[in-house]
Amino acid sequence: MAALLFLSAALNAQPLQIAHIFSDHAVLQQDTSVPVWGWGEPGKKVQVKASWLKKAVSTTVADDGSWRVQLQTLPADGRSQSLVVKSGKEKIELVDVVFGEVWMCSGQSNMEMPLRGFGFQGVDGATQAILEAGETAWSVRLLDIKTAKKTSPEKDIEAVWELTTPGVAAKASAVGYFFAKSLSKSLGGVPVGIIVNAWGGSRIEPWMPREVINGAGLSKEELDTIYAIEEKPDRWPETPELIWNGRVAPIVGYAMKGILWYQGCSNIGQNCYDKLQNAMVRYWREKWGRGDIPFIYTLLAPYEHGDINGRWRPFFVEAQMRTAGTIPAAWFVSTETLGNKVTVHPSQKKEVANLMLMRALQNIYGQELGLDIDYPEVQSVSYEEDGTVKLRLTHVWSDLGSISSRDVVGFELAGENREFHLADAQIDWDGQTIVVKCPEVSKPVAVRYAWRNWMGANLQKTSGIPVPPFRTDDWDY
């Protein structure tokens, strides 16, 4: 009987494991304390030996079969390291582990869109980037998570780290890849690892548990609308926690520098989006134990959305922008001049990546860019006797430009009847005043810019930073 019990225990013993996010070619966040975890037989000792540390770190497998240790990493030094995990006679060895910068790239299809593009939809500069990928394959690394919908939290993912050789780069998130490659170059060749965790078509609700949504400060009507959505098995996730459970919960705690977020199309028209986005970011930060993880996100780009003259996109963008003003270390980037009227997947992914990179370099890495990258807001508006409107904006001193000389597309004026008409606009010679006039509106009382789903709006700063939609009224239509 004792022999049978021993055999049964042996057959049921949990083999030594390390979470898949720790694999060959992994990027560990440099110069910090990083957690490393896995599973094994409860009660057994686990020893983790890092090649860069003099002493091994030991722990005991907990009753639930899990183990975790903390390792101090070094500044990136251009060398590959190794990691050996032992428990009894079991051994796991990881090679080509490097120190660098780790960013999670999350959201829906515009973040997921690979460098090679989607069917009938390409990425500008992709062919050249793929051909040259081998030059930086060692310093730009990818972990691409593709876990299916899960109704309960998973403990692990199946993805592993890869070097971005041409074949790997081609399938990588275009925004993430361009960001990582340029960041590595800007930091002098420091390795950059991107955790691509994006799902095309997904709403924001699947990225967090139900209790987070319930505590986001939404009205009963807003909650009822969310919970009335029926999940379709053969479609992308739309209901709470289905992505969180399989793609975020298993990697909670993995040391990283920040988050890039490119999502919103599937939630368009939802006025409470900012509350949901705030709740998600706060929850992720709480689970990571870091209340200041940088969060850089992209505003919804212009697109017809079924009606080029519809206004639900700019109202949604307005809700998106509110997040930056209500939680710390959150910044948005505008894509107002980077959209496409006929596709929700604009091809200028490198430009989007560069906008995110500028924000990261200045606000997170402390680099002086010599550019004012902050977004303009209306500083003053004056309505002249002849019907001319003069707008002055902040953060544009001698820094306003437009794609077509001084003429600006995308302005509207409305009078007391609150009916908007397209207006002519020019940048004054002072470089910071916009002069707007419309023959149909003799006595304007309100100005809007880029306040339709698609207008071909072209106002930008001379550095190429698109000016986001803005308005001087508070009307709800």
**pLDDT greater than 90 at residue 201:** yes
Write out the residue range of the structural domain in which residue 337 sits: 102-363
Q: Report residue 220: phi and psi, to 5°.
A: -60, -40
How far CA 285 is from CA of 145, 271, 289, 329, in Å, comes to 20, 23, 6, 11
Q: Are residues 95 and 107 in the same domain?
A: no
Q: Letter for the amino acid at 373?
A: I
Please give the torsion angle defined by the CA atoms of residues 41, 45, 51 and 53, in that order, rounded to the nearest 10 degrees: 140
Q: What is the mean pLDDT of residues 164-173?
A: 98
Domain count, the chain: 3
Nearest Cα neighbor of 203 from 242, 248, 246, 237 is 237
Looking at the domain assignment, is residue 308 inside a domain?
yes
pLDDT band of 396, cuts 50, 70, 90: confident
Q: Are residues 151 and 224 in the same domain?
A: yes
Q: Are residues 341 and 268 in the same domain?
A: yes
Provide the pLDDT for residue 12. Answer: 54
State the pTM of this model: 0.95
Q: Distance between CA 368 and CA 73 in Å, rounded?
A: 27
More confident residue, 397 or 220: 220
Asked which of 44, 72, 99 is the last residue of a domain, the reply is 99
Q: Distance between CA 183 and CA 31 in Å, rounded?
A: 17
Q: Are residues 239 and 137 in the same domain?
A: yes
**pLDDT greater than 50 at residue 3:** no
- Cβ contacts of 114 within 8 Å, gap of 6 or more: 123, 170, 171, 172, 173, 174
Q: What is the mean pLDDT of residues 213-228?
A: 98
User: Do the beta carbons of residue 245 and residue 150 sit within 8 Å?
Assistant: yes
Looking at the domain assignment, is residue 86 inside a domain?
yes
pLDDT band of 10, cuts 50, 70, 90: very low
Q: Distance between CA 227 and CA 205 in Å, rounded?
A: 10
| Mean pLDDT over each residue of the chain, to the nearest integer | 94
Q: Report residue 263: phi and psi, to 5°.
A: -155, 160
Angle at 40 between CA 62 and CA 100, to 5 degrees: 95
Q: What is the CATH number of the domain that holds 43?
A: 2.60.40.10
Looking at the domain assignment, is residue 475 inside a domain?
no
Asked which of 336, 363, 390 is the last residue of a domain, the reply is 363
Provide the pLDDT for residue 309. Answer: 96
Looking at the domain assignment, is residue 154 inside a domain?
yes
Q: What is the mean pLDDT of residues 150-167?
A: 98
* pLDDT above 90 coverage of the chain, percent: 90
More confident residue, 350 or 10: 350
User: Do the beta carbons of residue 242 and residue 86 sit within 8 Å?
Assistant: no
Looking at the domain assignment, is residue 315 inside a domain?
yes
Provide the pLDDT for residue 431. Answer: 75
Q: What is the CATH number of the domain that holds 244?
A: 3.40.50.1110
Q: Are residues 185 and 329 in the same domain?
A: yes
Q: Are residues 343 and 419 in the same domain?
A: no
Provide the pLDDT for residue 6. Answer: 37
Looking at the domain assignment, is residue 369 inside a domain?
no
Q: Are residues 192 and 282 in the same domain?
A: yes
Provide the pLDDT for residue 125. Answer: 98
Least confident of 119-123, 255-259, 418-422, 444-448: 119-123
How far CA 102 is from CA of 31, 48, 141, 200, 354, in Å, comes to 12, 22, 9, 22, 17
pLDDT band of 398, cuts 50, 70, 90: low
Q: Are residues 206 and 279 in the same domain?
A: yes
Helix residue ranges per DSSP H, 307-348: 312-322
Q: Are residues 254 and 355 in the same domain?
A: yes
Looking at the domain assignment, is residue 250 inside a domain?
yes
Token output for 18: 């390390």
Q: What is the mean pLDDT of residues 364-371?
A: 95
Asked which of 317, 338, 363 is the last residue of a domain, the reply is 363
| Three-class secondary structure of residue 410 per DSSP | coil
Looking at the domain assignment, is residue 65 inside a domain?
yes
**pLDDT greater than 80 at residue 399:** no
Strand segments (E) across 81-213 = 81-87, 90-107, 140-144, 162-163, 192-198
Q: What is the mean pLDDT of residues 111-128?
A: 96
Q: Are residues 107 and 87 in the same domain?
A: no
Q: Are residues 85 and 111 in the same domain?
A: no
**pLDDT greater than 70 at residue 195:** yes
Provide the pLDDT for residue 7. Answer: 36
* pLDDT above 70 coverage of the chain, percent: 96
Q: Are residues 265 and 341 in the same domain?
A: yes
**pLDDT greater than 90 at residue 2:** no
